[in-house]
A = this chain, B = another copy of it.
């Protein structure tokens, strides 16, 4: 009998009435075979607790970080929904029991607040499932080797679900408030289409480029353990009718008709830092990025260009918007040593990306992108590429225009799995 892990987010579990709806979906699947469920906290609950933790204030100088107690407080949200869903399932005649992170156990490293799962005891969990009991597992949380509660960071319940599925050799259905993975954000492009299938690699790029459907780490795990993941909506779904719904995230080989471009993603969470008038010498970039690495600032896109006059150069790079102020201060403090003339920060930027495994074997993909943007008069500030994606940094005001232009340029609004291939020739 094939095993199934079902994961439900906070909006699907916002109150007991909705939890009753979730239980109905679970009961229908449990009638077919072994099921484990992974739950988030009730919508809004985690924010409430984060606010409490914040109002407690930072530790006094000399005392260790608060991240461990943050985890102890915040993880209580999933404890509540796990218990409540088990109760409602029993009320519907389904045998069920809850598991907290420490009970499963889901072992993590000691990086409180952003812990990584190290192992899940699939053996024990499988016994529960095979005995006909639905295991309801609190997502987002685990336990460290020292026996302390850890949490996995925002969206971590997706990762819990995939890790449990990997340990159980199960497939994983992620229930959310959208119908699946779309060619782009339907709020921007009404003609966005739901993808039937998307490869792990593409999903990974889409997730890290700003598509908020799945947590990046969960896709990495799914890819590493080859867990088939389906993204589907818990709303307006008849119990037991999940077959063929949503989007399947799977191996590239399982996707018969390859598209060159599968989706267009965008993110406004970045800021651009420009260092102007740098000396043109080999050691300068290392000098800059060593400082950022030491301060734990992640740099995404980088471009170096010759300055208009003289033989100095300009360096532009992007960092998370939260880190922008800190990065600028860091650079200005080292101005004499690095030797630039001026540092600037620009938060009015957006990163727009096209993603597709078909790029590996097709030429002309970048050209299509640049032409489409140029036709709308959108200037490209920075470019970065990987084997299956091209990202450009543009003025944030043009975000929607760029997304729609690219969606059309790659034919993503046309029905049919191979549409993308046709448009990019």
Residues of A within 8 A of B (CB): 16, 19, 49, 52-53, 55-60, 63-64, 66, 68-70, 72-73, 75-77, 79-80, 82-84, 86-88, 90-93, 95, 97-98, 100, 102-103, 147-149
Interface on chain A toward B: helix, strand, loop, or mixed SS?
helix
Q: Which residues of B contact A59 (CB under 8 A)?
A: 87, 90-91
In the bound complex, how far is the Cα of B73 from the Cα of A100, in angstroms? Answer: 11
A108 to chain B, nearest CB (A): 15
* Bound Cα distance A53, B91 (Å): 11
- Say yes or no: A66-B87 contact (C-beta < 8 A), given A60-B93, A72-B82, A82-B72: yes
With a cutoff of 8 Å between Cβ atoms, the chain B residues found around residue A91 in the complex are 56-60
Q: How distant is A366 from chain B, measured CB to nearest CB, in Å?
A: 50
Chain B residues within an 8 Å CB radius of A16 = 52, 55-56
Q: How close is A142's CB to chain B, nearest CB, in angstroms? A: 14
A60: chain B residues within 8 A (beta carbon): 90-93
Q: Which residues of B contact A69 (CB under 8 A)?
A: 83-84, 86-87, 90, 97-98
The 7 closest A-B pairs by CB, nearest first: A73-B83, A60-B93, A56-B87, A72-B83, A57-B91, A76-B76, A59-B90
Give the CA-CA distance A63 to B19 in the complex, in Å. 19
- What residues of chain B lie closer than 8 Å to A148, measured between beta carbons? 103
Number of copies: 2
Structural contact, A57 and B88, CB atoms closer than 8 A: yes
Knowing A72-B82, A72-B83, A80-B76, the reply to whether A95 touches B63 (Cβ < 8 A) is: yes
Q: Which residues of B contact A98 (CB under 8 A)?
A: 69, 72
Q: CB-nearest residue of chain B relative to A60? A: B93
Residues A103 and B147 in contact in the complex (CB < 8 Å), given A90-B60, A92-B60 = yes
Chain B residues lying within 8 Å of A76, measured Cβ to Cβ, are 76-77, 79-80, 83
Q: A49–B80 contact, CB under 8 A?
A: yes
Contact A63 B93 (CB under 8 A): yes
Q: Return chain B residues, CB-CB under 8 Å to A102.
A: 102
Do the beta carbons of B72 and A79 come within 8 Å of each other? yes
CA distance A84 to B16 in the complex (A): 26
> Which chain B residue shows the least CB distance to A76?
B76
* Separation of A409 and B18 alpha carbons in the complex (Å): 60
Query: Which of chain B's residues have a CB closer than 8 A to the CB of A95?
Result: 63
Residue of B nearest to A61 (CB): B93
> B52 and A80: CB pair below 8 A?
yes
Q: How far is the CA of A406 from the CA of B59 in the complex (A)?
A: 54
A56 proximity list for chain B (CB < 8 A): 16, 19, 84, 87-88, 91
Which of B68, B73, B86, B92 meets A84, CB within 8 Å? B73
Docked CA distance A19–B19 (Å): 32
Q: In the complex the two chains form, is A63's CB within 8 Å of B90's CB? A: yes
- Nearest-Cβ distance from residue A32 to partner chain B, whole angstroms: 19
| Distance in Å: Cβ of A110 to nearest Cβ of chain B | 14
| Distance A19 CA – B148 CA, assembled complex (angstroms) | 22
Give chain B residues whose Cβ lies under 8 Å from the Cβ of A92: 60
- Chain B residues with Cβ under 8 A from A82's Cβ? 72
| Distance from A384 Cβ to chain B, minimum over Cβ atoms (Å) | 40
Cβ of A80 and Cβ of B73 under 8 Å apart? yes
Instruction: Report A303 CB to chain B, min CB distance, Å.
Output: 43
- Looking at the assembled complex, report how far the CB atom of A140 sits from the nearest CB atom of chain B, in whole angstroms: 14
* Most-contacted residue by chain B among A84, A87, A92, A97 (CB, 10 A): A87
Most chain B CB neighbours (cut-off 10 Å) among A55, A75, A149: A55
**How far does the alpha carbon of A96 sit from the alpha carbon of B363 in the complex, in Å?**
60
For A66, what are the chain B residues with a Cβ–Cβ distance below 8 Å?
A: 87, 90
Give CA–CA (A91, B72) in the complex, Å: 16
Known: A52-B84, A68-B97. 12 other contacts (CB 8 A): A49-B80, A53-B83, A53-B87, A56-B91, A57-B91, A58-B91, A60-B91, A63-B95, A69-B90, A72-B86, A76-B80, A76-B83
